[in-house]
């Protein structure tokens, strides 16, 4: 059994009682103190985020879309019967003409194949979220690692990753995706991976590397070296945590890019997915309703508006987050 040193610290808000002798409690207290700190810094950041109206608005939009995504399976299980309301195989037998305009039974009407548009919209929301967030996560994990490693080691490693990034930026991403989807059957997950890898080794890596470069020359990196920290330790403990705020920001921007890319590919009919906002517009287009002006608005508007709203919400949310992360952008009150 390990006995604690006599001058065992008491953490803020605790009475100076003799410490319990077992080690587990000490770890627990340390973890608790860290948790409190994390909570506090989150609260501070949250307060700054709340000051920005755009941030709040975009957060509200994202929450609404998230609720929409959740609501679809619930509605399918309770109110909607699968035969009529399934987003892919359903058929609205209650309507004489397809596409039918909005009615009480079909709030957003039906599409040319007799499927409920609202059901399609809601079921797509979930996959858009999964696609966007997966792509963003992949992008950010790759870009943060690549950026930190390239900046820290410099030289050949840096040259390799940066030339790779230049190459990827020079490639027109959408055309590349079109070629890839013509060669392989791409589903949501594949698409998320491809977008993630392209973003992660591409532009985002360059931005995070430039940030890492400015961190690398700080005296605290030298201090960590003097403390005896290995290169791995320095990258993991000193460089990457300082990159994370910026990473989070670019995560938000990547979500936008991923949803856009999906919409374009689906519209061109190149993705192997059951339903998405892009496919909804694709269906309207193949039926010849896209150029029909505003008469068949319910075929285009819900999906189009959703794409626009969710993308701008993530983008503007990112901008608001930027203010939290980057104090220089904050408005000065004096």
Partner 1 sequence: MENSGQGPARRDYLVAVEGLTKHFPVTRSLFRKPAGFVHAVDDVSFQLERGESLGLVGESGCGKTTVGKLLVKLLEPTAGGISFHFPDSAAGGAAGPVDAAAIKGRQMRAFRRQVQMIFQDPYESMTPRRTIYDTIAEPLAVQGIGDVLDRVGRVTDILTLVGLTPAATFLFRHPHELSGGQRQRVAIARALVIGPSFVVADEPTSMLDVSSRTGIMSLMQELAGNLGIAYLYVTHDLAVARYMCHRIAVMYLGKIVELAETEELLGNPLHPYTRALLSAVPVADPDYRREPPDIRGDVTAPVDPPPRCRFYDRCPRATTFCRDNPHPPTEEKAPGHWVACYEV
Helix ranges, the chain (H): 23-51, 53-78, 82-85, 117-153, 155-170, 173-183, 188-201, 203-216, 219-227, 231-233, 240-267, 277-286, 297-325
CB 108 within 8 A of CB 298: yes
Q: What one-character-per-residue DSSP string does 93-158 give?
A: TT-SSSSPPP-SSSTT-B-TTS-BHHHHHHHHHHHHHHHHHHHHHHHHHHHHHHHHHHHHH-HHHH
Q: Give the bridge partners for 116, in sequence order.
A: 110
> With binding defined as CB under 8 A, does residue 155 bind partner 1?
no
> With binding defined as CB under 8 A, does residue 291 bind partner 1?
no
Shortest distance in whole angstroms from residue 163 CB to partner 1: 13
**Three-state secondary-structure class, residue 332:** coil
Of residues 30 and 329, the one with the C-beta less far from partner 1: 30
- The DSSP 8-state label assigned to residue 79 in this structure reads T
Among 63, 218, 329, 330, binds partner 1 (CB under 8 A): 218
Place of tokens 């991923």: 258
> With binding defined as CB under 8 A, does residue 228 bind partner 1?
yes
Per-residue binding string, partner 1, 38-77, x by CB under 8 A, is: ----------------------------------------
CA distances, 151 to each of 63, 155, 163, 239 (Å): 37, 9, 14, 10
Per-residue binding string, partner 1, 241-270, x by CB under 8 A, is: xx----------------------------
> With binding defined as CB under 8 A, does residue 184 bind partner 1?
no
Among 1, 2, 170, 291, binds partner 1 (CB under 8 A): 2
> With binding defined as CB under 8 A, does residue 185 bind partner 1?
no
Q: Round to whole Å and give the CA distance between 299 and 295.
A: 9
Of residues 185 and 218, the one with the C-beta less far from partner 1: 218
Contact stretch for partner 1 (CB under 8 A) within 4-12, 108-116, 203-211, 258-266: 4-12
> With binding defined as CB under 8 A, does residue 12 bind partner 1?
yes
> With binding defined as CB under 8 A, does residue 157 bind partner 1?
no
> With binding defined as CB under 8 A, does residue 20 bind partner 1?
no
- The DSSP 8-state label assigned to residue 269 in this structure reads T
Phi, psi at residue 208, to the nearest 5°? -70, -30
Chain contacts with partner 1 (rule: CB under 8 A):
2, 4-5, 7-12, 23, 26-27, 30, 33-34, 36-37, 218-220, 222-230, 233, 237-238, 241-242
């Amino acid at each position: 059994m390990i006995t604690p040193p006599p001058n065992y610290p008491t953490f803020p808000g605790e009475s100076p009682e003799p410490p319990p002798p077992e080690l587990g409690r000490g770890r627990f207290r340390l973890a608790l103190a860290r948790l409190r700190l994390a909570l506090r810094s989150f609260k501070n950041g949250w307060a700054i985020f709340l000051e920005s109206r755009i941030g709040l608005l975009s957060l509200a939009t994202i929450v609404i879309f998230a609720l929409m995504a959740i609501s679809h399976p619930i509605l399918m299980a309770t109110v909607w019967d699968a035969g009529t309301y399934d987003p892919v195989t359903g058929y609205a037998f209650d309507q004489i003409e397809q596409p039918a305009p909005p009615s009480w039974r079909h709030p957003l009407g039906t599409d040319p194949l007799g499927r409920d548009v609202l059901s399609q919209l809601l079921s797509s929301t979930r996959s858009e979220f999964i696609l966007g967030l997966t792509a963003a996560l992949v992008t950010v994990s790759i870009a943060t690692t690549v950026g930190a490693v390239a900046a820290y080691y410099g030289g050949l490693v840096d040259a390799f990753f940066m030339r790779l990034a230049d190459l990827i930026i020079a490639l027109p991403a959408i055309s590349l995706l079109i070629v890839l989807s013509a060669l392989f059957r791409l589903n949501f997950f594949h698409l998320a991976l491809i977008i993630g890898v392209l973003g992660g080794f591409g532009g985002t890596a360059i931005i995070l590397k430039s940030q890492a470069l400015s961190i690398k020359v700080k005296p605290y990196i030298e201090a960590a070296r003097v403390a005896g920290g290995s290169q791995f330790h320095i990258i993991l403990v000193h460089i990457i945590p300082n990159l994370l705020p910026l990473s989070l920001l670019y995560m938000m921007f990547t979500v936008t890019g991923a949803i856009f890319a999906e919409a374009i590919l689906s519209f061109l009919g190149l993705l192997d997915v059951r339903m998405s906002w892009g496919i909804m517009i694709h269906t309207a287009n193949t039926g010849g309703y896209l150029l029909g002006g505003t008469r068949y608005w319910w075929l285009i508007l819900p999906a189009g508006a959703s794409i626009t709203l969710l993308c701008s919400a993530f983008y503007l949310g990112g901008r608001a987050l930027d203010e939290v992360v980057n104090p220089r952008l904050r408005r000065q009150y004096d």
